[in-house]
Structure 1
Amino acid sequence: MQVKKKVIIGSVIVLAFLLITWAVIMRKPIKDIIIEEEITDLPQKPRVSLDTYMPIIKDTMWIYEDSTTPYVPISVWVDFIKDNIIQIRFKQGDKITAKVFIEEEEAIYEVATVEDATIKQDYTTLRQYNNIIMKLPIEVGSSWIMSDHSIRTITQTDEVYETELGEQTGIEMTTRHEDYTITETFVEKIGLYSIKYETPQKTRTIQFSEMISNKPQEEVVELYLMNKATGKMETVFEKVAVMTNEEPKHFLTDLLKKAPNEDYLIDISNGAIINKLFLDEEEACLYVEMSEDFIDPQYSKTEEEKIITSLVNTLGHYYNAEYVVMTVEGEAYPLKSPLNDINGRIKVKDSFY
């Protein structure tokens, strides 16, 4: 390809004339004036990359419409971005699914799926399978075999789609299974734009509707707080905005440092934090490490025990755990109480009524 680089526009005749005249007066030779030159074989930057059609944008929500349930949209958001690993969650009605993707070797791989991912947990180290979702080069006919033996092919490129961001270039990916076909389109700046599931009997479509920027995911946390006057545990529901890469220990710390009003004991003192939260799913046991002085020293031993009960049940119910083990800076919590069993575990109660 030839590209013409104009150094001095030839139409500027007056300026050229003045330069020549001045050179004659000064009796100095004038250099040749290059009007234009041709440069051949310029290196061309690749026009697309993987993130062209699968952009990962933090604190953003994508909304899709499902033809089978038109009144129940699908919401998609990014939980974690860790170098080349991302975790995304999908919500439709009460069902929430988490998926983990890895970008490496000029391809994007889907490597894990977690059903019933109703709370935010970090699954970025989980590996269950290895499916290539997209890879370079982006060319019609590029094809590969998925882990379930289906064949995925790039069937269209450079198609133009009308979106809320204007006209955007997109590509089409077709995955052929034995009994059905899935056709997906991805467009610039948005990512996944549509999905069509086709069987001999029916067709289902999922279509992009809206992308909302600077939109954190909203979660409702069930707090178990101790009423000062009655000495009883009460349930309070609080909404919390969860940002991309924000771990539960961060927003749970913030929630537990305050109370709806002065009727309740505050679970965590102002300068303290939750250091670590780890759920052993096989044992249904949540391990909680607190920082030092997480309980206000002005509280009595009786109030301290009530706060531990409050913390255990708030965190235990959030993670759907049966037991909680409390430590402080890695050391066993010193409270001597019948709350703990011989393994240092505290039972999470199902009800306080």
Structure 2
Amino acid sequence: MKKSLWFLILVAFLSFLLGCSGAKAMDKVHTAEKQEIFVDSILSIDQYYPLKENTIMEYEGIGNEFAEKKTFVEFIGEGKVQIKEVNPGTTFVRVVEYKNGELREIYAEGEFYHIENMLNTNTNRNNILLKEPLEVGNTWSNEDGSIREITGLNEIIETPSGPYEALVVTTKFSSGGILEEYYAKGIGLVASIYKDGEFEVKTLLREVKNKEQKLEVLSYYPLADKIGTGYLEQTITFETNGDIKEILEKILKNPPTEELIPSISKNVKINEIHLNREAWILEVDFSKEFADDFNIGSAQEAEMLKSVVNTLGKFYDVDKVYITIENIPYESGHFGLREGEFFLVDISDVVEIE
């Protein structure tokens, strides 16, 4: 039990073990084209950690229920990559940067079920994952007290997607545990093996898919035949470096059934969405057309506001939503917000639409 708990903590802290590219499994060893290695040959991190868009990597877990995982490249820019990782216990994001010969994990946040670009967020991590020169014996330490060393350059590792020739990084923790990470050229992380005495957990690459990320979203709309709010679950598709504002806008404008009506009109734009992490309030600014939608009765306006607030609040996992129109707090003939006030997510009396 103690070992399992320790590994779960490791999963939360060390889940930078992410691949970033893709290749189909082969019956033979996956390796770069064979060539003679000269003394002045130089290996670089981008060979072993390529940044490629719309890549899903699925890993098999052995030895612990949280070892299985799936990763997706959400955003790429200026030498940084944001990766969403899902395992049976949670979902979180990592931001990794390749700069000055080092690959560093510079940001991490757990319970991250929405989509938000964190590439330029203030760093909260400083863990070196790989460090040049990529040669056996290169060693460095991290803030957590762990010691990392490149211990192999051409090691063969077997995975469900096939055997790979890999660079190996071995991490020794102060607790006594040892982690081996295997990086293959042109692919990224293909395996990680954690050992602590007889306790062993493996995370092995099972499949690589070059496709978009799909997420389930609860969407709310006013009912078409009476005053009220209905909801259903929809699937959205997100490409690397996509615009989540446009996707949410489309959801709000297009109910999938005639039993519901749009939450906002076709001319409305979402100017900005910002998650205030200090107050845990979602701040949403709409275009001026949003006010035109509410030249209606107070009851219908309440249901439209409820639908907007619930859809956005649920997606970002918050209870409070602050709405502005062209940066001015929301106000109509029936409802209004002062600076610092907000609408609450309210799922009372909503009707599930089959």
Question: TM-score interval w.r.t. the shorter chain?
Answer: 0.7 to 0.9
Task: Tell me the residue number matched to 1:111.
Answer: 106
Residues 141-156 of structure 1: matches in 2 within 5 Å? 141-156=137-152
Residues 177-186 or 287-296, more deviating: 287-296
- Distance across 2 between alignment mates of 1:44 and 1:254: 56
Task: Tell me the residue number matched to 1:58.
Answer: 53
What is the CA deviation profile of residues 85-137 of structure 1, one whole-angstrom value per residue up to 9, with x for unaligned ones? 21111111251121111111111101222111112222221411211111211
What is the deviation of 1:266?
0.8
Task: Tell me the residue number matched to 2:115.
Answer: 120
- Distance across 1 between alignment mates of 2:41 and 2:248: 44
Match among 243, 248, 251 for residue 247 of structure 2: 251
Q: How many residues align?
A: 310
Task: Please tell me whether the aligned partners of residues 339 and 346 of structure 1 are also in contact (alpha carbons under 8 angstroms).
Answer: no
Task: Please tell me whether the aligned partners of residues 148 and 169 of structure 2 are also in contact (alpha carbons under 8 angstroms).
Answer: yes
Task: Tell me the residue number matched to 2:168.
Answer: 172
Q: Which amino acid aligns with 1:55?
A: P
Task: Tell me the residue number matched to 1:326.
Answer: 323
What is the deviation of 1:342?
7.1
Task: Please tell me whether the aligned partners of residues 131 and 147 of structure 1 are also in contact (alpha carbons under 8 angstroms).
Answer: yes
- Distance across 1 between alignment mates of 2:79 and 2:224: 48
Task: Please tell me whether the aligned partners of residues 168 and 188 of structure 1 are also in contact (alpha carbons under 8 angstroms).
Answer: no
What is the deviation of 1:46?
4.8
Match among 309, 313, 316 for residue 312 of structure 1: 309
Task: Tell me the residue number matched to 1:181.
Answer: 178
Task: Tell me the residue number matched to 1:209.
Answer: 206
- Distance across 1 between alignment mates of 2:290 and 2:244: 17
Q: Which amino acid aligns with 2:166?
A: G
Aligned: 1:76 with 2:87:
no
Task: Please tell me whether the aligned partners of residues 331 and 337 of structure 2 are also in contact (alpha carbons under 8 angstroms).
Answer: no
**Which SS does the other structure have where 1:262 is aligned?**
coil
**Which SS does the other structure have where 1:311 is aligned?**
helix
- Distance across 2 between alignment mates of 1:127 and 1:244: 21
Q: TM-score, normalised by structure 2?
A: 0.80
Compared CA separation, residues 330 and 342, structure 1 to 2 (3 A):
closer
**Which SS does the other structure have where 2:332 is aligned?**
coil
**Which SS does the other structure have where 1:59 is aligned?**
coil
Task: Tell me the residue number matched to 1:200.
Answer: 197
- Distance across 1 between alignment mates of 2:268 and 2:262: 12
Residues 231-250 of structure 1: matches in 2 within 5 Å? 231-250=227-246
Match among 44, 51, 54 for residue 49 of structure 1: 44
Q: Tell me, which stretches of 5 or more residues in structure 2 are unaligned?
A: 1-37
Q: Which amino acid aligns with 2:71?
A: V
**Which SS does the other structure have where 1:324 is aligned?**
strand
Task: Please tell me whether the aligned partners of residues 143 and 151 of structure 1 are also in contact (alpha carbons under 8 angstroms).
Answer: yes
**Which SS does the other structure have where 1:101 is aligned?**
strand
What is the CA deviation profile of residues 277-329 of structure 1, one whole-angstrom value per residue up to 9, with x for unaligned ones? 11112322111111231466596244344322211111112212222111122
Task: Tell me the residue number matched to 2:93.
Answer: 98
Compared CA separation, residues 209 and 70, structure 1 to 2 (3 A):
farther
Task: Please tell me whether the aligned partners of residues 157 and 182 of structure 2 are also in contact (alpha carbons under 8 angstroms).
Answer: no
- Distance across 2 between alignment mates of 1:271 and 1:46: 58
Q: Which structure has the bigger radius of gyration?
A: 1
Task: Please tell me whether the aligned partners of residues 295 and 304 of structure 1 are also in contact (alpha carbons under 8 angstroms).
Answer: no
Compared CA separation, residues 131 and 61, structure 1 to 2 (3 A):
same
Task: Please tell me whether the aligned partners of residues 193 and 202 of structure 2 are also in contact (alpha carbons under 8 angstroms).
Answer: yes
Compared CA separation, residues 198 and 167, structure 1 to 2 (3 A):
closer
Task: Please tell me whether the aligned partners of residues 212 and 239 of structure 2 are also in contact (alpha carbons under 8 angstroms).
Answer: yes
- Distance across 1 between alignment mates of 2:172 and 2:186: 27
Aligned: 1:287 with 2:271:
no
- Distance across 2 between alignment mates of 1:129 and 1:317: 28
- Distance across 1 between alignment mates of 2:240 and 2:266: 24
